[in-house]
Amino acid sequence: MNTIGEIGIKELASEYGTPLYVYDEQKLTANYHRLKSALDKYYTRNSIHFATKSNNNIEVLKSFKKAGSRVEASSPMEILIAEAAGFSGDDIFYNGNYESVEDFEFISSRSSMKINLDDISSFDRLFKATKELPERISFRINPGVGRGGFEGITTAGSDAKFGIPYEMAKHAYRKAKEAGVKRFGIHMMTGSNNLEPYYFAEAVDKLMMIAHDVFSELDIAPEFVNIGGGFGVPYYDEESELDVDLMARLISETFIERCQKYGFGSPELILEPGRYLIANAGYLISQVTGVKDSYRKFIGLDAGMGTIARPSLYGAFHRIKAYDNSNPEERVNICGQYCENSDILAKGISLPKLAEGDLVTILDAGAYCYVMASSYNSRPIPAEVMVSSGKHKLIRRRETFDDFMNLYNF
């Protein structure tokens, strides 16, 4: 693999150095439009809020804003980042968990945002932070079951730390209503990287039944229903793309049918995807720094667990492509330079023979990659570049020794 968005990988590596994150603006915009137009076909009162936690680069957020997206933020700092990218008020959907009273002091200063609470105890802390409650509130419901690509990214069910168990949801909404909240939404996020369209329709069905149970008793109606993110991308060659059109049709049909049955009118249907919109638009270019013939053959890269944590964090797999495909293939383990034996990016994969100085590109590195980078072993966090219409520009520079030292200037 030797180009990204028509730009030569060698040119990018020599201009900005490695390891280097590169995003393709046309690709992320196309991802947004594909999802949005599929939804518009079946239910027009929909909104997409891009999940900042998956990629918090301000230029990436601006590209999504330009495409028409809204944004999801999961911490006070993400709210500030979203605002710096030009989002405000209702365009921001805030989701948190276990926030402190101080967090809520900040969050409640943005009362026109959509504020989604993870628990009844979160409502109590919000109330401690401000007596002027936002007019509108929603709660994240744990429907008792969840599904993600693997355990580490499953976010509902009895072991999940997220959401209010659905049996307790009524209690939360009643409390909010009695405290003076006037407008309501409901939210769910059951897991990430699902490629099965029918799963989403089942999840919507479950959430709508819970909404009916809660809202009918309290004589309120949902202004919006947020079904979360979780829309998957194929990380392996053998996997297929999520059939977005089918998924949009199935969730819209279920949603419309349930809204009619329960007398909910036409609430806003919200999706807050991260991975689907940005994963495959991101690449990590890295250079081979060492080749070792040990009990296994190890290819050492200048990118490792501090650059891209997903493989060592929860066993995620990312395809890796050699710049030069002409050499015969061999089976190798790919590792980084960090002082941990879990610093392995891929085990037993076949790659064309690599030598020191060769370039490789790690695919699907747009979501949950840069944002999880650390400066462990005091290796600097890499730079990020955007390529668009045959041009490229630095959108966040590499960390430097001065950046480390600046934290001591107080």
Ligand X SMILES: Cc1ncc(COP(=O)(O)O)c(C=O)c1O
Q: Contact positions toward ligand X, by CB under 6 A? A: 51, 53-54, 72, 95, 155, 189, 192-193, 228-231, 272-276, 367
Least spacing, CB of residue 52 vs ligand X, in Å: 9
Residue with tokens 């370039």: 359
Measured over the CA atoms of residue 264, residue 229, residue 164 and residue 129, the dihedral's sign is: negative
Backbone CA torsion sign across 153, 154, 159, 162: positive
Q: How far is the CB of 365 from ligand X (least distance, A)?
A: 14
- Our CB check for ligand X shows the closer of 346 and 372 to be 372
Question: CB of 23: closest distance to ligand X in angstroms?
Answer: 15
CB 360 within 8 A of CB 18: no
Which residue has the CB atom at the shortest distance from ligand X?
Answer: 229
Cβ at position 42, least distance to ligand X in Å: 19
SS3 for 217? helix
Nearer to ligand X among residue 197 and residue 229 (C-beta) = 229
Q: Output the six-digit token pair for 225.
A: 């229903």
Q: How many secondary structure helices (H) and strands (E) does the chain include? A: 12, 20
Q: Which of 190, 187, 213, 230 is nearest to 51 (CA)?
A: 230
Which value, in Å, is the radius of gyration of the alpha carbons in the chain? 22
**∠ Cα 77 78 82 (to 5°):** 120
Please, which residue, 51 or 385, has the CB nearer to ligand X? 51
| 335 among known catalytic residues | no
DSSP character string of 338-401: SSSTT-EEEEEEEEE---TT-EEEESS-TTTTGGG---GGGPPPPEEEEEETTEEEEEEPPP-H
Minimal distance in Å, beta carbon 98 to ligand X?
13
Handedness of CA 146, 54, 71, 196 (dihedral sign): negative
Which pairs count as long-range contacts for 396-401, CB under 8 Å and 24+ apart, including other chains?
396/57, 396/59, 398/16, 398/17, 399/375
Helix, strand, or coil (residue 173): helix
Q: How far apart are CA 190 and CA 278, in angstroms?
A: 20
- Which residues belong to the active site? 339
